[in-house]
Amino acid sequence: MKLGFVDTILADYSLEEVLKFASENGFASVEVACWPSRSAEEIAEIRGRSDIQPSLLNYILGITHIDVAALDDARIREICELQDRHRVRISSLAYYANPIGDSPERASKHLAHYKRMIEMAPKIGVDLITTFMGRDQNLTVEANLGLAIEFWEPIVQTAEKHGVRIAIENCPMYFNEAQWPGGQNLMTTPEIWRRVFEAIPNRNFGLCYDPSHMIFQGIDYLKPIYEFSDRIFHVHFKDAKILRNKIDDCGTMGYPLQYTALKIPGRGDVNWGSFVSALDDVEYQGDGSIEVEDPAFDGADHSIRAALSLSKRYLSQYLI
């Protein structure tokens, strides 16, 4: 397994700086942020919101290390040359949005962006897009399944024609009152995965699997590796710690961040030896991306670098 990281944590870096950092610190790959470019007004509005957890700001704001809308032949050559020069490959193009929970106008923009990502990915040597399925947080699972299938089925079919895979992360996107009551991503549990894959059986449609999201849902994070081994296209290395004393106060029906702490690998409740062993059992051949959302490492550049370095050092004992 090639070890890399999700580059949203290096929001102020250019793509070349991201790949240079990865190379100098022994990473083999990078999951590269490809949000659409935003206007200064949009950025200011999002930064001014009080309902966004600081460690999740980059996902809401969006990071654009590759602007797929602006890719031309010269920039495509440059990106390919950067990967060769630094000997670091782009493992996936990342765009974590909520396409089925937005307004129809926004949904059409999401659709156009996904299509552009699919078109451009093979030109820079990438065959994977990592993303969220999305969810209307005010509707039932059943209602959202209909919305999800309607939106995603044609995208998956388009991706298949281009030799591109789509990997949906299993994050509920339910952390606080802003995402109440249902969260903003449907693809969260094995029961839902079965229903989605039955409706969209294309073999290029799968999972970006993060065990930390199973921790606060109370789900065994090892069993799905065996059942969905052929659907796991990418994995995230992120940890979570359940704060039992907080559950005594708010219960499991409270907001998840009331009783869960997001951590870098090795500082939470995931048994990483068992996790990697399970991936080895099913002969997983994809990449693994360290994803830093630990509030202890928010902010300063040296802190972010430390989080990636510590995570890599810890995980290296389990990876060849």
Dump pLDDT digits (tens) for 203-258. Answer: 999 999 999 999 999 999 999 999 999 999 999 999 999 999 999 999 999 999 99
Give 25's pLDDT tier (boundaries 50, 70, 90).
very high
Mean pLDDT of 264-272: 99
Mean pLDDT of 266-283: 98
Mean pLDDT of 266-293: 98
The confidence score (pLDDT) of residue 59 equals 61
Dihedral angle over CA of 151, 291, 222, 156, nearest 10: 20
> Does position 61 have pLDDT exceeding 80, yes or no?
no
How far is Cα 88 from Cα 305, in angstroms, rounded to an integer? Answer: 17
Structure token digits, residue 162: 């281009």
- Report the chain's mean pLDDT, rounded to a whole number: 94
The confidence score (pLDDT) of residue 54 equals 63
- pTM of the shown model: 0.94
Give yes or no for a contact between 307 and 275, defined as CB atoms under 8 angstroms apart.
Answer: no
> Does position 56 have pLDDT exceeding 90, yes or no?
no
Angle at 221 between CA 200 and CA 256, to 5 degrees: 95
How do the domains of the chain map onto residue ranges? 2-237+271-315
The confidence score (pLDDT) of residue 38 equals 73
Give 298's pLDDT tier (boundaries 50, 70, 90).
confident
Which is it for strands 239-242 and 260-263: parallel, antiparallel or unpaired?
Answer: antiparallel
The radius of gyration of the chain's CA atoms, rounded to the nearest angstrom, is: 18
Residues of the chain with pLDDT > 70, as a percent, come to 95
Give 52's pLDDT tier (boundaries 50, 70, 90).
low
CA 14 to chain CA centroid, nearest Å: 20
Mean pLDDT of 271-281: 99
Give 318's pLDDT tier (boundaries 50, 70, 90).
very high
> Does position 262 have pLDDT exceeding 80, yes or no?
yes
2-237+271-315 has CATH 3.20.20.150 classification: yes
Give yes or no for a contact between 97 and 133, defined as CB atoms under 8 angstroms apart.
Answer: no
Per-residue pLDDT tens digits for 162-186:
999 999 999 999 988 889 999 999 9
> Does position 285 have pLDDT exceeding 60, yes or no?
yes
> Does position 299 have pLDDT exceeding 80, yes or no?
no
> Does position 55 have pLDDT exceeding 60, yes or no?
no
Give the residue, 114 or 12, on which the prediction is more confident.
Answer: 114
Of all helices (H) and strands (E), which one includes residue 144?
A: helix 141-161
Give the residue, 73 or 101, on which the prediction is more confident.
Answer: 73
